[in-house]
């Protein structure tokens, strides 16, 4: 390797300087219009926002019709909060514990919430089987046929674990169905005895 | 009203729900005319975000018409066409006062580590989102803006998240004139980040993904060079080769928790949910940039710890910058750029689905079928 072949990383300046301003402007519409870092909308970082539209220093409080869970890193329930899907059932109890006992800094907080999510889903799946709209392992899958499922995946890295997807999605359902069948059989057998 | 509803991982459906009510004097109720599915919705859809409750309505990218306003609302009137930033924020707390609208402290009772977001689980406040006919919009005097007459609905809806986020991502990269910028992910956020890098003076822009149809878009729409990581045994080495062994000056990570390209990380993170998402692209960014570089992270991760190569970041003297985008702060400049034709968000739209077919839309976007880049959702009442 002669000296002029030594890559940029090992010498003082980049061997191939960036194209000129004129060249870039000709090729890319708008090149450099936001060149000045001081004149970009997110600078400075702690800008005192001029007028956000807020006419209050602390907003009026939204009425709390039922006690609401909150992070214990908060001094109180925030003045405005979401009221969608209030805590309910076994999943609600798990989530309530996660909020009441552990800060966001504790892994236990998040793991309990994850467990709460899975319990919530199971509670609803079971209930859905008694309705006209039972849950299915995954929705929207008919697009695999209508929107080129196989053709779209050619040459992609996810083709490697594509076979895993039905297992990840359907596996727990198969296990649950299996367990249900075994359970029902045992009950039937016990009843016959 | 009709609304998208979560039923558990990989399962959503459309249900009848009550039209939301005014719950605070500064609330508004918006009738949604156009919504979108964001890459972030996929984290919820795959069950990666803790405290995603069955029955939750997703959707944080939407525009609509004001249907009702609370008694203290002054800036909006019934009938106004409005665009709503994905952030819910009060405009007056310590964080909002300093322009950190995505980090508001007054709207998310469930967590202090993240602000408020529409339809984004209870971890971001427990607000139902805009993939529905109607949505409750808190602090109506602060977040929403009237859509300028000259702006198309598609550009407006894409400004409520993807476009503002991509542009913000380029800003956090602290791009200097002539810099080589590598963008991971050629989704809507990555495509806008690549375009915006030029506006900030980049000398070279390289976009990395494994979806050829998206890389093609990156070449044509964002004038970028592209690198398909499926074609290389080791992307990091390839990036070094392509940058004369320096590494890029700036990386913008626009992939997040579902990152692919490392079987173990992907399966452990995205499929088995053993970490807060798979940090493959983030680790490639850390290893693929030069020493002293800046990495801007727009890709979203869950609150559970991730296997990130922090030692390399330290030893290389990297600056890591990241946030949820404070959307409205970007708007005045982005309006100009769209008017001048420097940015054309609507060019990214590939699909439109009626709200009733939203389960199909999620599957197509999540599995990247049919050349999908950005799917829009049209509510029936629109
Ligand atoms: N910070 C914010 O405010 C904010 C706002 C919006 C979106 N986001 C996040 O930005 C990310 C991108 O959003 P989007 O809508 O463009 O999503 P998207 O799913 O359309 O795009 C992600 C792209 O990354 C590609 N990819 C996967 N693994 C990769 C790897 N290892 N290297 C390079 N590319 C890889 C995928 O093929 C896909 O094209 C998501 O994580 C989303 O949550 C953040
Ligand atoms: Zn988003
Ligand atoms: Zn605030």
Fold topology of B2-161+326-378? Quinone Oxidoreductase; Chain A, domain 1 (3.90.180)
A176 alpha carbon – ligand 3 mean position (Å): 45
Given a cut of 60, whether residue B382 has pLDDT beyond it is no
In short, whether B202's Cβ falls inside 6 Å of ligand 1 is: no
Contact A139 B362 (CB under 8 A): yes
> Band of the pLDDT at B233, cuts 50, 70, 90?
very high
Given a cut of 80, whether residue A3 has pLDDT beyond it is yes
pLDDT > 90 in chain B, percent: 95
Q: Across the A/B interface, how many CB contacts are shorter than 8 Å?
A: 310
B207 alpha carbon – ligand 1 mean position (Å): 12
Average pLDDT in the B204-213 region? 98
Given a cut of 80, whether residue A193 has pLDDT beyond it is no
Q: Point out the ligand nearest to the CA of residue B166.
A: 1
Gap between the Cα atoms of B36 and B41, Å rounded: 10
Is the residue at A93 inside a domain?
no
**pLDDT, position B26:** 98
Given a cut of 90, whether residue A48 has pLDDT beyond it is no
Average pLDDT in the A133-160 region? 91
Q: What are the residue ranges spanned by the domains of chain B?
A: 2-161+326-378, 166-322
The CATH number fitting domain B166-322, selected from 3.40.50.720, 3.30.70.260, 2.170.190.11, 3.30.420.40: 3.40.50.720
Exposed/middle/buried for A129, CB within 10 Å: 0-12, 13-18, 19+?
A: exposed
Average pLDDT in the A169-192 region? 88
Average pLDDT in the B155-171 region? 98
Gap between the Cα atoms of B367 and B153, Å rounded: 26
Gap between the Cα atoms of A36 and B60, Å rounded: 31
Closest CA to B377 of B369, B361, B196: B361
Q: B246, A8 in Cβ contact below 8 A? A: yes
Q: B259, B306 in Cβ contact below 8 A? A: no
Is the residue at A131 inside a domain?
no
**pLDDT, position B273:** 80
Q: Count how many domains chain A has.
A: 1
Gap between the Cα atoms of B206 and B218, Å rounded: 9
B371 conformational bin, left if phi > 0, alpha if psi -120 to 50, beta if neither: left
> Band of the pLDDT at A44, cuts 50, 70, 90?
confident
In short, whether B324's Cβ falls inside 6 Å of ligand 1 is: yes
> How close A188 comes to chain B (CA, Å)?
31
Closest CA to B172 of B323, B313, B282, B312: B323
Contact A110 B263 (CB under 8 A): no
Given a cut of 80, whether residue B381 has pLDDT beyond it is no
Gap between the Cα atoms of B346 and B21, Å rounded: 32
- Which DSSP string do the residues of B30-61 spell out, in sequence order? EEEEEEE--HHHHHHHTT-SSS--TT------
Average pLDDT in the A53-75 region? 97
Q: How far is CA A46 from the centre of its chain?
A: 28
Out of B44, B209, B270, B287, mutate this one to test ligand 1's pocket (max ligand atoms within 8 Å of CB): namely B209
In short, whether B186's Cβ falls inside 6 Å of ligand 1 is: yes
Q: Point out the ligand nearest to the CA of residue B60.
A: 2
Contact A19 B326 (CB under 8 A): no
> Band of the pLDDT at B242, cuts 50, 70, 90?
very high
Which member of B52, B142, B198 has the closest CB to residue A117? B52
> Band of the pLDDT at A163, cuts 50, 70, 90?
confident
> Band of the pLDDT at A57, cuts 50, 70, 90?
very high
> How close B167 comes to chain A (CA, Å)?
10
Which member of B55, B266, B372 has the closest CB to residue A161? B266
Average pLDDT in the A64-78 region? 97
> Band of the pLDDT at B348, cuts 50, 70, 90?
very high
Shortest-distance Cα residue to atom 14 of ligand 1: B39
Candidate from A152-156, B16-20, B116-120, B146-150 with smallest mean pLDDT: A152-156
Q: Is the pTM for the entire model greater than 0.95? A: yes
Which tokens go with B169? 């991502």
Average pLDDT in the B95-121 region? 97
- Which DSSP string do the residues of A116-183 spell out, in sequence order? HHHHHHHHHHHHHTTSSS---S-SSTTHHHHTTHHHHHTT-GGGGTTTHHHHHHHHHHHHHHHHHHHH
| Chain A residues inside the 8 Å CB shell of B24 | 59-60, 62, 79-80
In short, whether B46's Cβ falls inside 6 Å of ligand 1 is: no
Is the residue at A20 inside a domain?
no
In short, whether B169's Cβ falls inside 6 Å of ligand 1 is: no
Which member of A32, A58, A169 has the closest CB to residue B10? A169
Mutation for testing the A interface, residue in B22, B26, B53 having most A CBs under 10 Å: B53
**For chain B, what is the mean pLDDT?**
97
Q: Rounded to the nearest 5°, which phi and psi values hold at B364?
A: -65, -45
Tokens 């299996």 sit on residue: A178
> Band of the pLDDT at B245, cuts 50, 70, 90?
very high
Cis peptide before A118 (omega within 30 of 0): no
> How close A189 comes to chain B (CA, Å)?
34
pLDDT > 70 in chain B, percent: 99
> Band of the pLDDT at B212, cuts 50, 70, 90?
very high
**pLDDT, position A168:** 81
Q: Point out the ligand nearest to the CA of residue B172.
A: 1
More confident residue, A188 or B4: B4
| Chain B residues inside the 8 Å CB shell of A48 | 97-99
Out of B221, B254, B261, B369, mutate this one to test ligand 1's pocket (max ligand atoms within 8 Å of CB): namely B254
Contact A53 B141 (CB under 8 A): yes
Exposed/middle/buried for B236, CB within 10 Å: 0-12, 13-18, 19+?
A: middle
Is the residue at A38 inside a domain?
no
Range of the domain at A193: 138-150+164-193
> Band of the pLDDT at B238, cuts 50, 70, 90?
very high
């Amino acid at each position: 390797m002669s000296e002029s072949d030594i890559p940029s990383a090992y010498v003082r300046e980049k061997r191939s300087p960036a194209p000129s301003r004129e060249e870039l402007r000709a090729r890319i519409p708008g090149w450099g219009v936001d060149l000045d870092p001081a004149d970009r909308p997110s600078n400075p970082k702690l800008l005192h926002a001029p007028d956000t539209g807020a006419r209050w220093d602390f907003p009026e409080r939204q009425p709390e019709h039922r006690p609401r869970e909150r992070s214990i890193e908060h001094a109180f329930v925030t003045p405005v909060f979401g009221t969608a899907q209030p805590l309910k059932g076994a999943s609600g109890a798990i989530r309530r514990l996660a909020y009441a006992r552990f800060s966001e800094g504790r892994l236990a907080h998040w793991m309990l919430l994850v467990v709460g999510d899975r319990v919530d889903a199971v509670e609803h799946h079971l209930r859905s089987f008694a309705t006209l709209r039972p849950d299915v392992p995954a929705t929207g899958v008919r697009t695999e046929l209508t929107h080129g499922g196989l053709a779209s995946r050619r040459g992609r890295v996810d083709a490697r674990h594509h076979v895993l997807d039905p297992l990840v999605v359907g596996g727990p359902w198969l296990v649950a169905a299996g367990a249900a069948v075994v359970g029902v059989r045992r009950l039937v057998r016990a009843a016959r005895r | 009203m009709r609304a998208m509803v979560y039923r558990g991982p990989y399962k959503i459906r459309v249900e009848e729900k009550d039209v939301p009510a005014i719950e605070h004097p500064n609330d508004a109720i918006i009738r949604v005319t156009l919504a979108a599915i964001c890459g972030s919705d996929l984290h919820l859809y795959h069950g990666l975000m803790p405290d995603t409750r069955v029955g939750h309505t997703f959707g944080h990218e939407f525009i609509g018409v004001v249907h009702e306003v609370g008694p203290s609302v002054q800036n909006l009137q019934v009938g106004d066409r409005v665009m709503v930033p994905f952030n819910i924020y009060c405009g007056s707390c310590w964080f909002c006062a300093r322009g950190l609208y995505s980090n508001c402290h007054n709207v998310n009772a469930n967590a202090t580590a993240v602000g408020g977001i529409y339809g984004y689980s209870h971890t971001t406040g427990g607000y139902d989102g805009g993939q529905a006919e109607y949505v409750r919009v808190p602090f109506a005097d602060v977040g929403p803006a009237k859509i300028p007459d000259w702006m198309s609905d598609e550009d407006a809806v894409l400004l409520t998240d993807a476009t503002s986020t991509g542009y913000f991502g380029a800003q956090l990269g602290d791009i200097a004139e002539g810099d080589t910028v590598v963008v991971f992910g050629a989704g809507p956020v990555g495509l806008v980040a690549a375009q915006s890098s030029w506006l900030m003076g980049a000398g070279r822009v390289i976009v990395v993904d494994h979806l050829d149809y998206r890389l093609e878009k990156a070449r044509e729409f964002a004038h970028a060079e592209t690198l398909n990581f499926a074609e290389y045994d080791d992307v990091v080495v390839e990036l070094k080769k392509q940058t004369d062994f320096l590494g890029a000056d700036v990386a913008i990570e626009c992939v997040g928790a579902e990152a692919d390209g490392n079987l173990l990380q992907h399966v452990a993170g995205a499929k088995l949910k053993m970490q807060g998402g798979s940090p493959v692209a983030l680790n490639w960014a850390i290893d693929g940039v030069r020493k002293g570089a800046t990495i801007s992270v727009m890709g979203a991760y869950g609150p559970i710890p991730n296997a990130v190569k922090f030692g390399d970041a330290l030893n290389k003297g990297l600056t890591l910058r990241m946030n949820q985008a404070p959307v409205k702060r970007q708007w005045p400049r982005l309006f100009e750029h769209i008017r001048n034709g420097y940015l054309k968000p609507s060019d990214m739209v590939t699909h439109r689905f009626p709200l009733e077919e939203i389960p199909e839309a999620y599957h197509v976007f999540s599995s990247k079928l049919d050349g999908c880049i950005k799917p829009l959702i049209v509510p029936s009442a629109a």
